[in-house]
Amino acid sequence: MVKIDSSKYGSITLDRKVYEHDVYILPSGQVEEREYGHTFTKEQVEHLLKEKPEIIVIGKGTSGMASLSDEGRKLLKKEGVKIIEDWTPKIRDKFNELVKTKKVAAIIHVTC
């Protein structure tokens, strides 16, 4: 599974590879570019749900400005998926520990 090495404003490093854009991390370990934006939409959540994660980790940006839409939150609750949200620099250890034993997806904003 993918490991989050570090993040800083404008980028995140996953398995020693630097991504200078928002990302999805799927439970299969696939990393995909996420369209830039400050709201994680229902459609973006649906994309992550295709691989049936138990947990979705949300990186809200380096200062926590991004947020999960109400529709996205309702969908995750309906599907019984646990949500863990924090500023992007703070999710590293949580994500890396969870992927050892759980089926985890992530949606990560890399700027504000």
CATH code: domain 4-109 is: 3.40.1230.10
Give residue-wise pLDDT tens across range 18-77: 999 999 999 999 999 999 899 999 999 999 999 999 999 999 999 999 999 999 999 999
**pLDDT at residue number 1:** 85
CA atoms within 13 A on the CB side of 96: 13
* Res 61: pLDDT: 97
8 Å CB contact between 108 and 64: no
pLDDT for residue 27: 96
Q: What is the pLDDT of residue 108?
A: 98
CB 75 within 8 A of CB 42: yes
